[in-house]
Structure formats: C-alpha cells, structure tokens
Amino acid sequence: MSERKQINFTIVPEDGSVEPRTYANFCAVNHTPFDFTLTFCEVQPLSEKEVREAEHEHVVRAPVRARLVLPVQFIPGLIAALQENLRVYSESHSPNPQPPAENEPVH
C-alpha cells in the first residue's frame, strides 16, 4: 500500500487578478445543514419616499453585490481570520496604541 504524505502549504491569492473589487456595507447570513450563504449588499441613504415605505412595510431593499456559498467546514477558519484581523486593526488604529509588553515581538 502507498503511504500518504502530508504536505503543509499556504494558499495565496494571485496578484493582478482581473476581478473588480466590490463594495458592500451590509451582509445577510443564512445557512443550510451543508453550507452558509453570505449575501453582500450596498445600502445607500434612503430617500423620503423610501423612509415612508420602510415605516409602513418595515423592509428596506438593498441591491445584492455578491453572494458567496461556503461549506460549513470553512466557517470556523473564516471567523478566526476575521477576529485576528480585527484585533490587529484595532491595535493599529487605536487612538492610544499600547507599547508591546517586555518580551513580546514587535511587528
């Protein structure tokens, strides 16, 4: 029998991608037993008419900019990556950044 060899690697997005950036300021999350769907929308300031409709219907419709369907197994890593990036962002953009502790590395 052949023995399976484990290889560690990092996946890196290609530079120079032709995919355009897409802006979204709202994300709806739904799931099935098999996957999570993240629907990204762009919500613009509401007109007076839209405000009146929202008061009556309690719904504001926003154009979908992207919809991603992700396997359940992908979600814990995504959450961890978002939390780590938010931690680094918060530390970097804090009004009073704290100096690193004595034995902590400086990035």
- The amino acid occupying position 67 is R
Other CB atoms within a 10 A radius of the CB of residue 36 amount to 16
Q: Which is more confident, 52 or 101? A: 52
Query: In this model, does residue 106 exceed pLDDT 60?
Result: no
Vertex 43, ends 60 and 87: CA angle to 5°? 125
Farthest-apart Cα atoms in the chain, separation: 71
Tens-place pLDDT, residues 17-52: 778 889 999 999 999 999 999 999 999 998 999 899
Please report which confidence band the pLDDT of residue 16 belongs to, taking 50, 70 and 90 as the band edges.
confident
Query: In this model, does residue 11 exceed pLDDT 90?
Result: no
pLDDT of residue 14: 84
Tens-place pLDDT, residues 62-100: 999 999 999 999 999 999 999 999 999 999 987 765 666
Q: Is 89 helix (H, G, I), strand (E, B) or coil?
A: helix
Q: Which is more confident, 78 or 14? A: 78
Give residue for tokens 């950036």.
21
